Amino acid sequence: KLIVVTHGSEGAVGYSKSHKVTVTPQKVAVVDTVGAGDTFNAGILASLHEQGLLTKAAIGDLSEDAIRQALTLGAKA
């Protein structure tokens, strides 16, 4: 399992059975927050898909780097 907790402008934390990974987003001028959560989640899923990790088995054994990459793309979205 991967649990992700978002903290708005403070970033996000991803928790797996073995890792806790924190990322901070780039500072940007906010125009509108509508859809921000959906876009964040899409970024995470896209990253995991690109890494070939979007399966139940792979999600259960994500490396710290894989989680960091996913959260980073989500935060950039």
Q: Give dist(CA 36, CA 30) in Å, integer.
A: 10
Instruction: Please state the domain extents for the chain.
Output: 3-25+34-76
Residue by residue, pLDDT tens for the chain (77 residues) are: 999 999 988 999 999 999 999 999 888 888 888 998 999 999 999 999 999 999 999 999 999 999 999 999 999 87
Do the beta carbons of residue 17 and residue 1 sit within 8 Å?
Answer: yes
Whole-model pTM?
0.90
Handedness of CA 48, 57, 68, 13 (dihedral sign): positive
Q: Give dist(CA 72, CA 2) in Å, integer.
A: 15
